[in-house]
Amino acid sequence: MLRRRPDPVVTRGGAAAFGIVIAIGAIALAIPLLPGESAPREGDIAPRAFAAVRESEYVSVELTEEAQNEAAAAVEPVMASLTEVPAEQLRLLATLFEEVARLRLRSELSSEERLEALGESPSGMGLGQAIRSTLLTLSVQNLEDLRAASVEGVSAILSSPLREEDKANRIEAYLLVGTVPSFQRGEGALRELLDAFVAPTVALDEQTTLGLRQEARDAVGQVLVTYAPGEVIVEEGQTLDAVAIEALRETGVIDEGFDYYDLGAGLLMGAALGTVLGVYLYRLQPFERPAERRGLMTLLAVLGTLVAVRVALPELLPDTEGRFFAYAMPVGAAALVVSSVSAPRFGAMVAVVVALYAGFIAATAPSLAGAAFTSALEPLELVIAYAAAGLAGAAAMQRTERLGRFAAAGVAVGVATGAVLLAFWMLTEQRETEGLGWLALAAAIAGGGSSVIGLGLHVLLSMALRVTTRMQLMELAQAGHPILQELQEKAPGTFHHSMLVGTLAEQAASRIGADSLLVRAGAYYHDIGKMERPEYFVENNIERGVSPHDSLAPEASARIIHGHVFDGMDLARRRRLPAIVGDFIPQHHGTRLVDFFYAKAMERGETDAEEFRYPGPRPQAKEQAIVMLADSCEALVRATQPETHEEIDDLVNGVFAERLAEGQMDECDITMHELQVVAASFRSTLRAVYHPRIEYPDTPEVSDPVEAEG
């Protein structure tokens, strides 16, 4: 190793903060989300038979209440006699006929006015328009017959006690045997009058009845219920009623309300989840710089997935019909998103812990102990299916450089989910063929959903949090990118140099396991600052032997050369280049001296070396170190134009030795062995690019252009 161990990208404090946030979120998800969420409801179906957990003897409130209600219902209601009703109703009936007789004599009133006046009278207010019209238009004899019949009918019906519910039947019975007027529609008129003037003569004595019923309730003793351990309380498929829920609660099958043990379990599981992810985040160091935004993106993906699981699983379980809906949840999306911005090994870790905590949520969210599952194997099946899906997705997300990678990961998630479900289907005794279709559908939804949701979250979160993704690096590493096109137009020599440096550095990075895509992107943009003054850099100077520096003092030339670093950093900010790419601009020169102009200044006498030194910093990672070395080697070999392979090798070895002597490699994590591999790669590539040309003999003149083409 060339230097002390590099500072970790994720610090202990950052990893601890990450784990604490995960733990707090996980603990919150172990608590019921809504008031009464965990309470069983009447009408729920028991997914399996439930037996008493412990021996229990208790007073059943529900059964006692049922017995008391039955005793109270058996008490006959006490009726009170209303002795004044018959005389009052007959008086009202007589008043009606008196009012009819008076109105019939008032010839100054029209028929409509008489009808209205009769309807407004106290005795006629309850009568319909038809009977009022009949009363006003009947002949004197028919009116008298109707009066006598109605008085007789009301007297007869009210001669014995009458309840409200018996009124209609009593009137109909009287019409069958009593006196009915003989004129047309006489029976209907009598029925309407009886209905209006017959009133109940007895009424419920509520106070006395309630007192007797309360006495009956008080006389019922408390119902004592006893269950032995293992005694079946509820059969599979039974609809839960209040009595069953009470029995399940009293025998320890279900437990409602605040439970310190439940809280303790949630605290331990949440703390374990946060600790595991925090420790592995620090140990694996899966993020590139800057790590904070990638960490936040991971937090959102993990907690968002757990929230979705917490909300959905209580609704999807138990799977009594074998539809596999719980397995169709795209839980694998968390591993896809995390793997897209970190090392896949950390995405695999996320997949495992998310699956384990999802199983914990499924087992603890329902109020009915074990009611989330219909078999003993189902909890294991759920955890393994979720874990396998996430692990397969994480493995498929290695070097996420194209959108198609998410599609491949979705296929992997679907296949892994389907394989696990099929394996557990084979373990069941039923092995219903119909379930295979639902199984395949669940696996397809899990895979497709993980792919689509993972890609959507990847794009949205990376844009919102300004996280540089590999797809962005792929876009930047295309020669047709607008910045590179502008570089080619304004500084074609620099563009060509950058392309060669990218090729040189990318191959070397691949050989030592560094990020070759990042190296290529960094190499392409490391000299974009030269677009501001391209003529001051030799690769863009078309007129050989003529340089604008000839008329400048060495210090001024050095400031211009230094300036391309500052110009490049400013351009990177204005064009919003990712910081991870922009870091190559100052670091590819490190803190080296501009040797040529420094030597010229020294020829005139002593001078301040700091005026000729690049601002730095030195390369902070092996990717920046590779680009620094590639930049120097390509420029030196191009300027020197060696004629043999040995000369190329000597130039490359000299550059490496010089950079080591200058201490430019002291702040990055590249090893001596890796430097040897990089040097060998450079020598091989530069030999291919700058090989000596074969001197061909002069070509004889050919008169036929076609022959010359051949």
- For 637-694, what is each residue's pLDDT tens digit? 988 888 899 999 999 999 999 999 999 999 998 999 999 999 999 999 999 888 655 5
pLDDT tier for residue 398 given thresholds of 50, 70 and 90? confident
Return the SS3 of 696: coil
The amino acid sitting at 168 is A
**Would residue 696 count as lying in a domain?**
no
Q: 43-99: per-residue pLDDT in tens?
A: 777 767 788 877 889 999 999 999 999 999 998 888 888 889 899 989 999 999 999
User: In this predicted model, what pLDDT tens digit does every residue of 547-587 receive, in sequence order?
Assistant: 788 778 888 888 888 889 999 999 999 998 988 899 999 99
Q: Are residues 461 and 478 in the same domain?
A: no
Distance from C-alpha of 336 to C-alpha of 397, rounded to nearest angstrom: 7
Whether residue 516 is found in the same domain as residue 642:
yes
Q: What is the pTM of this model?
A: 0.62
Q: Single out the residue of 447, 430, 409, 432 nearest to residue 327, CA to CA.
A: 447
DSSP assignment of 95-127: HHHHHHHHHHH-TTS-HHHHHHHHHHSTTTTT-
245 versus 236: the higher-pLDDT residue is 245
390, 396 Cβ separation under 8 angstroms:
no
Going by pLDDT thresholds of 50, 70 and 90, the confidence category of residue 458 is confident
Residue 3 vs residue 444, higher pLDDT: 444
- Tokens representing 157 are 């019906």
Task: Please tell me whether residue 613 adopts helix, strand or coil conformation.
Answer: strand
Q: Are 532 and 435 in the same domain?
A: no
6 assigned to some structural domain: no
* Tens-place pLDDT, residues 18-31: 999 999 999 888 77
Task: Kindly state the tokens that stand for 159.
Answer: 């001669």
Q: Is 515 left (phi over 0), alpha (psi -120 to 50) or beta?
A: beta
Is there a single domain that holds both residue 453 and residue 477?
no
Q: Is pLDDT larger for residue 378 or for residue 402?
A: 378
In a domain, 242, yes or no: no
Give the ranges where 513-607 is alpha helix by DSSP (H).
516-525, 554-574, 579-582, 584-587, 595-604
Residue 417 pLDDT exceeds 90: yes
The predicted structure's pLDDT at residue 38? 55
Residue 237 belongs to a domain: no
- Shared-domain flag, residues 127 and 144: yes
pLDDT score of 311: 87
Q: Which of 259-263, 429-433, 491-495, 526-530 bottoms out in mean pLDDT, i.e. has the lowest?
A: 259-263
520 and 591 fall within a common domain: yes
Domain that holds residue 89: 84-196
Mean pLDDT, the chain, rounded, equals 86
Residues 6 or more apart whose CB falls under 8 angstroms from that of 218 comprise: none
Verify that 391 and 486 share a domain, yes or no: no
Residue 56 counted as domain residue: no
Q: For residue 488, give the CATH number of its domain.
A: 1.10.3210
Q: Is residue 151 in a domain?
A: yes
For the segment 348-368, what is each residue's pLDDT rounded down to a tens digit? 999 999 999 999 988 877 655
User: Is the sign of the CA dihedral 534, 540, 541, 542 positive or negative?
Assistant: negative
| Residue 698 clears pLDDT 70, i.e. is over it | no
Closest by CA position to 525, among listed 489, 481, 590, 462? 481
Confidence of residue 209 (pLDDT cuts 50, 70, 90): confident
Residues 636, 505, single domain; the answer is: yes
Question: How many structural domains does the chain have?
Answer: 3
Least reliable range by pLDDT among 17-21, 295-299, 374-378, 379-383 = 374-378
Compute φ and ψ for 415, nearest 5 degrees: -65, -45
**Does the residue 201 lie in any domain?**
no
* Mean pLDDT lowest among 269-273, 287-291, 537-541: 287-291
pLDDT of the residue at 47: 67
Q: Pick from 465, 498, 530: which residue ends a domain?
A: 465
| Residue 6: predicted pLDDT | 54
Counting other chains too, the contacts that 210-214 makes at CB distance below 8 Å and 24 or more residues apart are 212/75, 212/78, 213/72, 213/75, 214/72
Whole-number pLDDT of residue 4 = 45
Sequence-ordered list of residues with C-beta below 8 angstroms from that of 207, at least 6 positions apart, any chain: none
- Could you tell me whether strands 224-227 and 202-204 are parallel, antiparallel, or unpaired per DSSP bridges? unpaired
Domain membership of residue 125 (yes or no) is: yes
Phi-psi region of 641 (alpha: psi -120 to 50; beta: other; left: phi over 0): left
Q: What is the mean pLDDT of residues 117-142?
A: 87
